[in-house]
């Protein structure tokens, strides 16, 4: 079945440093979504990418969808302590209804 892999699993950064998490799918995705889960919280939708090569920005966050629609990345510029949490990518398997397969997530910790 489809697998969505995320690396790294953990990332510890100093406040102000940049952070990137990478997401790779074993199959082509029609779209990809990113979620953030704060410690003790629930996943919260951040963004959806649909087009090949698409790049979207939300303030210090930059999301990219690969040309082949099999990989994606999230880059945070100048991390802040409010960025702490686990970032998940999620994609739908082809022709399998509406289910979203989540990656394992990248847990980001930020040292002030």
The verdict on 73 binding another protein (CB under 8 A) reads no
Of the listed pieces 15-23, 57-65, 70-78, 86-94, which binds another protein according to CB under 8 A?
Answer: 86-94
Kindly tell me which of 97 and 112 has the beta carbon lying closer to another protein: 97
Residue 83: φ, ψ to 5°: -85, -5
DSSP 40: T
Closer to another protein by CB, 4 or 110: give it. Answer: 4
Of the chain, the end-to-end C-alpha distance in Å amounts to: 41
Near another protein by CB under 8 A: residue from 19, 35, 65, 87: 35
CA distance 77 to 49: 19
Q: In 3-state terms, what secondary structure has residue 81?
A: helix
Biggest CA pair distance of the chain:
45
Q: Does 28 bind another protein (CB under 8 A)?
A: no
Binding site for another protein (CB under 8 A): 30-31, 33, 35, 41-45, 48, 50, 88, 90, 92, 96-105
């Amino acid at each position: 079945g489809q697998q969505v892999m995320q690396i790294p699993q953990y990332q510890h950064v100093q406040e102000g440093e940049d952070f990137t998490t990478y997401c790779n799918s074993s199959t082509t995705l029609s779209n990809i979504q990113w979620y953030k889960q704060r410690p003790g919280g629930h996943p919260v939708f951040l963004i959806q990418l649909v087009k090949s090569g698409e790049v979207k920005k939300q303030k210090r966050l930059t999301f990219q969808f690969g040309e082949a629609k099999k990989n994606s990345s999230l880059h945070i510029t100048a991390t802040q302590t409010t960025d702490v949490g686990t970032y998940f990518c999620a994609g739908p398997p082809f022709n399998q209804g509406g289910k979203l397969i989540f990656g394992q997530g990248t847990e980001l910790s930020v040292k002030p």
